[in-house]
Amino acid sequence: MDEPELREPDLPRTAKVRPKALRTGWTTGTCASAAAKAAALLLKDGPPPPEWVDVGLPSGRRVTFAVDRAAMVGEAAQAVVVKDAGDDPDVTHGARLTATVSWRDAPGVELAGGEGVGVVTRPGLGLPVGGPAINPVPRTMITQAVTEVVGERGVHVVVSVPDGERMARKTTNRRLGILGGISILGTTGIVRPFSTASWRASVVQAVQVAAAQTETTVVLCTGGRTEKGAMALLPDLPEVCFIEVGDFTGAALRTAVEHGITRVVFVGMVGKLTKLASGVLMTHYTRSRVDVGLLGRITREAGGTTELAAEVDAANTARHGYELWAGAGLLRAAGDALCARVRDVLVRFGDGAISADVAMVDFTGRTVVAATVPDWVG
């Protein structure tokens, strides 16, 4: 069978595939900068506390936020801005971004993390180990917002998020080595609902963190079920090696090669594997289709009858083809051939800098039904 052309389509434009426009929201970084500015205003000017503040986004646009609460706490001023994530299913929607600002003798803004803000415990995140998980863009936004109020005077700013530790349990922070709370995030200051760009960025970061732990193998999984299956398959690998890539296999592979990863294991179900075997490395449904004709050709190569191959050629979905293979007793042989083709695509995409193995799991994610490593099956 000829080698497929390798393709990595652009990110989908989410709004085009939604039935209605979705409301954007604000990142934790933007909300923290608004809270910090409100607290700085109260510290500098005294009561009454501000009811509204405006802050600048990295684009230069300015946005206004309601201040939920602001009060003096001893010698410090404290303010709260409630995060609105728009229509995005963000675990931090409704979080109370809290900033406590106090004077200090040295000039400039000193930033720290408080309750509910995670602490960085591993390298690879672009942040100092032992420091708060406040990313570079939010750090700049907070500093600029406070400086607009106090000028060159020295202030100490503590960002906290009540209940942030509970929220963090629903994120990948612990796996990335961020403990005790959420991260203060954002690159544009805006949350775009169901953002594929943010998912891709999280995949890239996860690979970078694994590489920073000197791991040489990453296990790419398409979702939660396949990840659980992969962890059961490879129990000796540390958790940091397992990465949910979703549709962004290409981004994960490219980052792995750039950071010296030498082996990739891909664990997935038949649909994603079929797309990858066709040479498609960004598998979002708006940018790629399942080539069931490929499954028909694999059926023939694996020794299937002419009648079975014709049925698979006419299958409605990759899952339908899988079920036809299973019904004919050809799942192992055809599945192994599919996995081998995916392995070849991954190695080619990495320009031979990585080795690869592939496992196909059933629809529970728990059972390996085919693989490039025979001992994995069963």
- The predicted pLDDT at position 15 comes to 39
CA dist 357 and 282 (Å) reads: 19
β-strand partners of 178: 120
Same domain, 110 and 208: no
Same domain, 167 and 103: yes
**Closest alpha carbon to 215 in 250, 167, 164, 177:** 177
pLDDT tens by residue, 128-148: 999 999 999 999 999 999 999
Amino acid identity at 66 = A
**pTM to 2 decimal places:** 0.71
Cα distances (Å, whole numbers) of residue 186 to 80, 327, 341: 18, 49, 38
**Closest alpha carbon to 286 in 5, 15, 17:** 17
Q: What is the DSSP letter of 167?
A: H
Return the beta strands (E) in 154-202 as ranges: 155-160, 178-179, 190-191
Residue 16 inside a domain? The answer is: no
Amino acid identity at 9 = P
Is the pLDDT confidence value at 10 over 70?
A: no
The tokens describing 60, both together, are 């230069």
pLDDT tens by residue, 323-363: 999 999 999 999 999 999 999 999 999 999 999 999 999 99
Q: What is the DSSP letter of 3?
A: P
Is the pLDDT confidence value at 368 over 60?
A: yes
Which structural domain, as residue segments, surrounds residue 310?
A: 196-376
Angle between helices 249-258 and 331-349 (to 10 degrees): 50
Residue 11 inside a domain? The answer is: no
Same domain, 159 and 229: no
Same domain, 288 and 151: no
Residue 292 inside a domain? The answer is: yes
Residue 12 inside a domain? The answer is: no
Same domain, 61 and 156: yes
Same domain, 299 and 181: no
Is the pLDDT confidence value at 17 over 80?
A: no
CA dist 205 and 156 (Å) reads: 29
Which residue bears the tokens 């990759």? 318
Domain boundary among the residues 191, 207, 231 is at 191
Same domain, 226 and 368: yes
pLDDT tens by residue, 224-276: 889 999 999 999 999 999 999 988 899 999 999 999 999 999 999 999 999 99
Lowest-confidence range among 25-29, 36-40, 63-67? 25-29
Same domain, 176 and 78: yes
- Asked if 362 and 369 count as a contact pair (C-beta separation under 8 A), the reply is yes
Could you tell me which residues come within 8 angstroms of residue 377 by beta carbon, excluding any fewer than 6 positions away? 332, 368, 369, 370, 371
Same domain, 117 and 205: no
Residue 363 inside a domain? The answer is: yes
Domain boundary among the residues 136, 158, 191 is at 191
Instruction: Characterize 209-228 residue by residue with b for buried, 16 or more Cβ atoms within 10 angstroms of its Cβ, and e for exposed.
Output: bbbbeebebbbbbbeebbbb
CA dist 114 and 163 (Å) reads: 11
Same domain, 178 and 215: no
What's the structural domain count of the chain?
Answer: 2
CA dist 87 and 194 (Å) reads: 8
- Count of beta carbons in the 10 Å neighbourhood of residue 304: 22
The tokens describing 57, both together, are 């986004």
Which residue bears the tokens 């109020």? 149
Residue 5 inside a domain? The answer is: no
pLDDT tens by residue, 153-211: 999 999 999 999 999 998 889 988 999 999 998 888 877 655 577 778 889 989 999 99
Same domain, 107 and 227: no
Residue 15 inside a domain? The answer is: no
| pLDDT band, residue 8 (cuts 50/70/90) | low
Same domain, 287 and 244: yes
Domain boundary among the residues 191, 210, 233 is at 191
CA 353 to chain CA centroid, Å, is 24
The tokens describing 180, both together, are 């005790």
How large is the average pLDDT for residues 101-130? 94
Residue 19 inside a domain? The answer is: no
